[in-house]
Amino acid sequence: MAVNTIKVDTRLQLVLSEGQDGEGNMLLKKKSFNNVKMNAADEQLHTVAIALAPLQTHILIDIARDDRSLLIEE
């Protein structure tokens, strides 16, 4: 059975620190930016994320690329 992959969506995710809970565990928040060009290079997304970081109210911890694909059986 052959399976093809069709890329359907790309998102840029910023993982932000909201501080700590009562037990000292870090509280994280994810902020997603949709409608990202699927062919955008990782370096381009990183540059955009770094530019967006100072505009956030919380501290940037991680930058993630979220690619979604469909698996189609032939």
The predicted pLDDT at position 1 comes to: 81
The predicted pLDDT at position 45 comes to: 98
Average pLDDT, the chain: 95
Predicted TM-score (pTM) of this structure: 0.82
CB atoms under 10 Å from CB of 65, counted, come to: 14
- In the predicted model, what is the mean pLDDT of residues 8-28? 95
- Chain centroid, CA 70 distance in Å: 18
The predicted pLDDT at position 43 comes to: 98
The predicted pLDDT at position 32 comes to: 97
Span 24-49, pLDDT tens digits: 999 999 999 999 999 999 999 999 99
- Find where tokens 């890329």 sit: 7
H-assigned helices in the chain = 42-52
| Cβ partners under 8 Å of residue 43, min gap 6 | none
